[in-house]
Amino acid sequence: MGSIRTIVISFIVMSCVVADTATLSKARYLDKCKGAWAGQMIGVCYGAPYEFRSNGKPITEPLRAWSPEMVAGAIDQDDCYVEMTFLKAIEDHGLNVSYEQAGKAFANTGYPLWHANHHGRENCRHGIMPPMSGHPLYNRHADDIDFQIEADLFGILCPGLPQESNHLCDVFGRIMNYGDGLYGGMFVSGMYAAAYFEDDVRAVIDAGLACIPKDSQYHKCISDVIVFHDAAPDAWLAAWKQIEAKWQDDIDCAPGDDFNIDAKLNGAYIVMGLLYGDGDFAKTMEIATRCGQDADCNPSNAVGVLGCMKGFDALDATFTSGIAAMADTKFSHTDYSFSSLIPVCQAVSERIIIRSGGTVTDDGYTFTRQKPLPPMTFEQWPDQVEAMKTPIAQSELAWWDPKWRVIACGTDMAPGVRSEALGRENVLVLHPVSESSPAVISARIDVPSTGKPELIIETASDPKGDYVLKVFIDGALSLERKIDTQGEWQKERIDLTPLAGRSIDVRIENHANGWSFEAGYFASAGVEGN
């Protein structure tokens, strides 16, 4: 007990020694808060046409010119509205919002999601709450970019208070991410927290890095970007090639594909935009976009941070002039508009400042700036390569039907268990591994000894394609049929009367038939009839 007390006291003393008193006027806070949100909105709309259009290669052709009305596209961008789910949860439950309260708020959303967000939300809907909903045991997308693109909020809410932002990141980030996926969000939010008081890009990046463990892969990747930049400050493309060579290792949620939504790789592109952009808004946004991969999220993070550093009033009207026309339009799936969002953020920030020992007056804020402190280092994912061999985790397939096992599956068309698809709930989506290799699930099934048992598979093809269904029973081909239902459901039946009273091995295969929209949709697969 004495050693614990010593650690706690040491922590408090250390924090007090390195801290400094900060003041921030309300006008400056609001200007920077507006700049942060405006930067996100502009960046995501600027890069939107290039999202995952250039994977494993930079974008070198001319980019489309910006026009002010483009910013209206931010209303329907998940980079913005997902953050507002978190903001509403804090409004509803307070600064001590729990893992479960955060998870339930996320579970109750209706907007489309992908990758770590999708699987984290489905975990929560099935009773697997954070922090386990983002753990690799239940979420094979744990290192993906998802929390990184929506963690801006927590730095915006925590000016100069990175320990507070890391706390909120831990609560919300572990809904969908873990390890490097979580650290990406802490890094981004830490940069925002520093951006309220720093006017040097390098200082902001260093502050973000101080929020995550030095021995993490994420920290090492970002540190490499800094080293490459310092060696050649005008050669972003050379740095891009060095990062690609070292960190594009294909250990991600889409192995065998140049597509890479890994947090640290895309985090490197954020930092490349900031460093090589050298404080210029347009140049920062352009470079972060040209790096490719998630080419709308990365510039959104980069110029969101820069917008917070500069403040809204300092941003070029070329980029901000379109905001006035849509400022009162609510973001999709939220009750927030740009106009209403800012005062809500201010109210929450004031509560955070007070909780951290600061004071709020009519004119502004006085508080003690916090030293960034990294969280515990989560163990790396030693079996990640093995886990990535199939894009559907067994825990996910169990939501659909626990007796089935995934043998093989491709990565195209977002395979997995969907809450709703083609008008049905709880649908399994498979996709062939390649034109010659099928997706495969298998099960050991008991056949009733009486009646007229049938194996019934309720399936559909994608509205834009077809696929070949093959069913094997005890190794023998029992059904082969092209499924071309154009999104309508049909039942395939196999008579099991000759096998009554036995346990059988059933294998369902989803084969390609032309390699265009080859997904197979399955509402159910089991034995009926007694």
Residue ranges and CATH numbers for the domains of the chain are 2-52+70-369 (1.10.4080.10), 401-528 (2.60.120.260)
* Residue 3: per-residue pLDDT: 39
* Residue 19: per-residue pLDDT: 52
- pLDDT at residue 274 tops 90: yes
- pLDDT at residue 2 tops 90: no
Q: What is the mean pLDDT of residues 379-405?
A: 75
Strand 439-446 and strand 359-360: the pairing is: unpaired
- If you write DSSP's letter for every residue of 147-168 in order, what string do you get? HHHH-HHHHHHSTT-HHHHHHH
The average confidence (pLDDT) of the chain is 93
Q: What is the 3-state secondary structure (H, E, C) of 224-240?
A: HHHHHHHHCCCCHHHHH
Question: For the segment 4-28, what is each residue's pLDDT rounded down to a tens digit?
Answer: 333 333 333 333 444 589 999 999 9
* Residue 530: per-residue pLDDT: 62
The torsion angle over the Cα atoms of residues 275, 82, 103 and 250, rounded to 10 degrees, is -50
Lowest mean pLDDT among 20-24, 388-392, 434-438: 388-392
- If you write DSSP's letter for every residue of 268-291 in order, what string do you get? HHHHHHHHHHTT-HHHHHHHHHHT
Burial state string for 255-270 with b = 16 or more CB within 10 A and e = fewer than 16:
eeeeebbbbbbbbbbb
Closest CA to 406 of 436, 427, 428: 428
Q: Band of the pLDDT at 384, cuts 50, 70, 90?
A: low
Rounded Cα distance between 3 and 253, Å, is 42
Closest CA to 527 of 122, 258, 483, 501: 501
Q: What is the mean pLDDT of residues 66-77?
A: 98
DSSP letter, residue 48: G
Give the chain's largest Cα–Cα span.
84
What are the φ and ψ backbone dihedral angles of 478, each rounded to 5 degrees? -110, -20
* Residue 130: per-residue pLDDT: 97
- The region that residue 509 occupies, defined by phi over 0 for left and psi between -120 and 50 for alpha, beta otherwise, is beta
Rounded Cα distance between 283 and 299, Å, is 10
* Residue 8: per-residue pLDDT: 37
* Residue 499: per-residue pLDDT: 96
Report the percent of the chain where pLDDT is more than 90. Answer: 85
Q: Which residue has the tokens 């060095």?
A: 242
Question: For the segment 232-246, what is each residue's pLDDT rounded down to a tens digit?
Answer: 999 999 999 999 999
* Residue 6: per-residue pLDDT: 35
* Residue 393: per-residue pLDDT: 80
* Residue 251: per-residue pLDDT: 77
Q: What is the mean pLDDT of residues 116-133?
A: 94
Lowest mean pLDDT among 310-314, 414-418, 507-511: 414-418
Q: What is the mean pLDDT of residues 172-180?
A: 96
Question: For the segment 342-363, what is each residue's pLDDT rounded down to a tens digit?
Answer: 999 999 999 999 999 999 999 9
* Residue 387: per-residue pLDDT: 57
Residue 257's alpha-carbon distances to 8, 56, 251, 289, 410, in angstroms, are: 47, 9, 10, 20, 11
Rounded Cα distance between 112 and 61, Å, is 31
* Residue 335: per-residue pLDDT: 97
* Residue 389: per-residue pLDDT: 59
Q: What is the mean pLDDT of residues 386-397?
A: 73
* Residue 18: per-residue pLDDT: 46
Q: What is the mean pLDDT of residues 188-196?
A: 98
* Residue 386: per-residue pLDDT: 57
What global pTM score does this model have?
A: 0.86
Rounded Cα distance between 147 and 172, Å, is 8
* Residue 394: per-residue pLDDT: 83
- pLDDT at residue 122 tops 60: yes
- pLDDT at residue 462 tops 80: yes
Rounded Cα distance between 125 and 402, Å, is 16
* Residue 529: per-residue pLDDT: 80
Q: Which residue has the tokens 């626990």?
A: 402
